[in-house]
Structure 1
Amino acid sequence: MPTIQRYNTSKGFSLLELLIVILIISMVYFLGFEGVEIGEQKPKALTPLNLKSNIRSSELFRGEGTLLCIDECRACYFRPDLSSPFEAYTSPIDLTNIQAYTLDSYDALTRVEYGRYQDQEICLVMDFFKNGSSTQLILKNEEGSYFLPAFFGDPQRFSTPEEAKEYWLRNTTLASDSGAFY
């Protein structure tokens, strides 16, 4: 009777097979993620609701400065102090057709007219100070009206500039009420 030879069958992969699998996975990984930088976030577009936080986190900001926007707020510039020249703000900007308002001495809503820069009308100027405050404004575009507080709180969105004005006045009264904080 013939004898049947049995071969030892291994139940694992050989070293060569494992190396080929690792090589294939590595190639797919490097080809698929080439140019992707992990951990670096792209800057969000500058909008009325994130204007203060984006400026404060930009590489141009060094504790204080001035933001100036022209060309119907499609181009913005920033300078870190009064003696420095304005540098182009290179992150995306979504402030098109912004109108800036403030309150005059009679608490009337007044549109701010800034003048011209580089022979174009300035649509927005906002100062940022070392103590964390900034210019307090009401901004308006076709999407709504926005109250940007000088110090406390986050920017708020409203339907009309008049609603933003009422909010401004209500918060001014609360802040000036000396008994409210003691």
Structure 2
Amino acid sequence: MQTFRKGFTLIELMIVIFLIVTIYTLVFSYFSKEEAKPKPLSPLTLKSSLSDAGMLNGETTLLCIDKCKSCYLRQGMDNDYEEYENGSNLQNTEVYLLDAYNDLSLAEYGRYNDKKVCLKLNFYPNGSSTKAVLDTPEGIFYLPSYFGKPQKVDSLDAAKELWLKDTKLVSGRGDFY
């Protein structure tokens, strides 16, 4: 007499569950690692890339040298700079700051590791950062210091107008808030 099996044995069920759990773990650990990996820095995503990767803890300074081909991060004022290893799209960037006469002037930051510093931005715990205008091969970008997102503009004059408008809002009678 022949008997037919109508189900799985306990060992077969345990093997199937083990395989499903293993595959699930491998797949989701891969995706979680991808999300945490910092993206290359670009003018429009500079602050968000660093923030999303958890690199803006306390006061942080971003420093780029060698025509902005190499960038470094420093957490706090007492720590050393560490190389940002995820690349950047900031090559050949010129940085402009507003001077005492409300004119944009090319920023001079000095030297680091015996190479000229082309970009230096500070990020503060309250969410603000250094205000700057970046002139890149891809265009001109205004980076606000407080709230708001970086914007691509048509000219240095347009960036200057945005800078002055933001300064007026912040120093006004509370209109900004």
Task: Pick the TM interval, shorter chain.
Answer: 0.7 to 0.9
Distance, in Å, in 2 between the alignment partners of 1:171 and 1:43 is: 29
How does 1:101-116 map onto structure 2 within 5 Å? Answer: 101-116=96-111
Aligned length: 174
Whether 1:180 aligns to 2:175 is: yes
Alignment of 1:33-48 (within 5 A): 37-40=30-33, 41-48=36-43
What letter is aligned with 2:126? N
TM-score normalised to the size of structure 2? Answer: 0.79
Aligned AA (1:38): F
1: distance between equivalents of 2:146 and 2:77?
Answer: 21
2:150 aligned with 1:163: no
**In structure 2, do the counterparts of structure 1 residues 60 and 39 end up closer, same or farther at CA, with 3 Å as the change threshold?**
closer
Do the aligned partners of residues 146 and 122 (structure 1) sit closer, same or farther apart at CA in structure 2, a change above 3 Å counting? same
Q: Counterpart of 2:146?
A: 151
Match of 2:70 in 1: 75
Aligned to 1:51: 46
SS at match of 2:30: coil
Flag the 1:151–1:179 CA change in 2: closer, same or farther, 3 A: closer
RMSD, aligned α-carbons: 3.3
Of the three residues 129, 134, 140, the one matched with 1:134 is 129
Q: What are the ranges of 5 or more consecutive residues in structure 2 without an aligned counterpart? A: 1-5
Which of the two has greater helix per residue? 2
Structure 2 equivalent of residue 118 of structure 1? 113
1:51 positional shift:
0.7
Percent identity, aligned pairs only?
A: 41
Larger Rg, first or second structure (1 or 2): 1
The CA distance in 2 between the partners of 1:87 and 1:181, in whole Å, is: 36
SS of the aligned residue for 2:157 comes to helix
**Structure 1 length-normalised TM:** 0.77
Structure 1: 5+ residue stretches without partners: 1-11
